[in-house]
């Protein structure tokens, strides 16, 4: 799919940046190299690959020539706050730092434990070989419910992915096993410990009341959080303003990203136009220089 052409008066330089994207090292469709290539084609100046709970996608891209794109180390960590699963993006982290290294290892163990439990539950229902099967589907990607679903389809246990989720893997079904994520303040500490900026990801996605959202932002700020995303894909101007006010209220910087996983109708492509946010206190100022 060709990238969107951004036209503007010749004197206006449009700067695209993206601090929230996924490669197929987690649940994105593009390889880290292809994601980097997409960003370059679109003219993205700064890119963070923020895969779920791992840094191998970023590291793979970072080991390749990056052309015109400046790659910022990133990750998106899952955690728990007040009983809800929350995502925190870490930007500018040192992936080799023991704080991040240990953290990422712990996340991998939590996912592994969850996959084991999903497999045991499926096997108890007569679907033998679920773990090995799903692992084969996942290949080098992080093992998750979509791989179990694909395996069930391939084995003819269900007719399609929808049925796999409806009957076995969706919310409230046997394969709906919650991973044992760390607490919000723990993942924030890993990011800070490894020299990064903790960013509260897609604050409106949790569907909290405004009161609860403020409590979350309060807790995040108290833990040492530094920024919140004001755009993470498609948002209405009202939503962006709401999040900007929240950032101002808690004296946080803002971050912008697409949360790109794959080309899909209604999904944002890689790269967010920085111009509406120029003049705001943004995390990008660390890497953008004087642009």
For Mn ion, the binding residues (CB under 5 A) are 27, 76, 87, 201, 259
Q: How far is the CB of 228 from Mn ion (least distance, A)?
A: 13
* Listed residue (113, 59, 230) closest to 105, CA to CA: 113
Q: How far is the CB of 244 from Mn ion (least distance, A)?
A: 20
Compute the CA torsion angle 228, 233, 239, 241 (nearest 10 deg). Answer: 60
Q: How far is the CB of 232 from Mn ion (least distance, A)?
A: 7
Q: How far is the CB of 7 from Mn ion (least distance, A)?
A: 29
* Residue with smaller CB distance to Mn ion, 42 or 87: 87
* Residue with smaller CB distance to Mn ion, 203 or 282: 203
Q: Edge-to-edge strand order for the sheet containing 272-273?
A: 70-72, 44-49, 16-21, 272-273
* Residue with smaller CB distance to Mn ion, 48 or 201: 201
Query: Which residues have a Cβ under 8 Å from the Cβ of 8 and sit 6 or more positions away?
Result: 14
Structure-block tokens of residue 4: 């969107």
* Residue with smaller CB distance to Mn ion, 77 or 122: 77
* Residue with smaller CB distance to Mn ion, 35 or 157: 35
Q: How far is the CB of 219 from Mn ion (least distance, A)?
A: 18
Is 51 in contact with 58 (CB distance < 8 Å)?
yes
Cβ contacts of 171-178, under 8 Å, gap ≥ 24? 174/121, 174/122, 174/125, 175/118, 175/121, 175/122, 175/145, 175/148, 177/114, 177/117, 177/118, 177/121, 178/85, 178/114
Q: Is 50 exposed, middle or buried (0-12, 13-18, 19+ CB in 10 A)?
A: buried
Q: How far is the CB of 109 from Mn ion (least distance, A)?
A: 19
- Give the β-pairing of 197-200 and 84-91: antiparallel
* Residue with smaller CB distance to Mn ion, 141 or 157: 141
* Residue with smaller CB distance to Mn ion, 157 or 257: 257
- Count of beta carbons in the 10 Å neighbourhood of residue 172: 5
* Residue with smaller CB distance to Mn ion, 27 or 183: 27
Query: Which residues have a Cβ under 8 Å from the Cβ of 10 and sit 6 or more positions away?
Result: none
Q: How far is the CB of 190 from Mn ion (least distance, A)?
A: 17
Closest residue to Mn ion, Cβ-based? Answer: 87
Beta bridge pairs of residue 229: 255
Q: How far is the CB of 36 from Mn ion (least distance, A)?
A: 17
* Listed residue (229, 193, 235, 194) closest to 86, CA to CA: 229
């Amino acid at each position: 799919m060709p990238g969107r052409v951004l036209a503007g008066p010749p004197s206006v330089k449009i700067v695209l940046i993206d601090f929230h994207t996924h490669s197929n090292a987690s649940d994105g469709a593009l390889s880290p190299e292809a994601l980097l290539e997409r960003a370059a084609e679109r003219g993205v100046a700064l890119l963070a690959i923020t895969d779920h709970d791992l840094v191998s996608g970023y590291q793979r891209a970072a080991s390749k020539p990056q052309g015109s794109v400046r790659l910022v180390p990133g990750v998106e960590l899952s955690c728990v706050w007040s009983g809800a699963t929350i995502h925190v993006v870490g930007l500018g982290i040192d992936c080799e730092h023991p704080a991040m290294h240990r953290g990422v290892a712990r996340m991998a163990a939590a996912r592994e434990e969850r996959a084991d439990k999903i497999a045991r539950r499926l096997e108890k229902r007569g679907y033998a070989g679920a773990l090995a099967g799903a692992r084969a589907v996942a290949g080098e990607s992080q093992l998750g419910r979509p791989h179990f679903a694909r395996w069930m389809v391939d084995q003819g246990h269900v007719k399609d992915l929808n049925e796999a989720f409806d009957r076995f893997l969706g919310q409230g079904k046997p394969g709906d096993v919650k991973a044992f994520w760390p607490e919000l303040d723990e993942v924030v500490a890993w990011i800070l410990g490894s020299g990064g900026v903790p960013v509260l990801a897609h604050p409106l996605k949790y569907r909290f009341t405004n009161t609860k959202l403020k409590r979350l932002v309060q807790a995040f700020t108290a833990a040492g959080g530094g920024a919140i995303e004001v755009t993470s894909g498609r948002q209405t101007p009202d939503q962006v303003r709401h999040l900007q006010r929240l950032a101002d209220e808690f004296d946080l910087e803002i971050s912008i990203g697409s949360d790109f996983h794959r080309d899909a109708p209604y999904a944002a492509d890689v790269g967010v136009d920085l111009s509406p946010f120029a003049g705001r206190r943004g995390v990008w100022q660390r890497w953008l220089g004087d642009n």
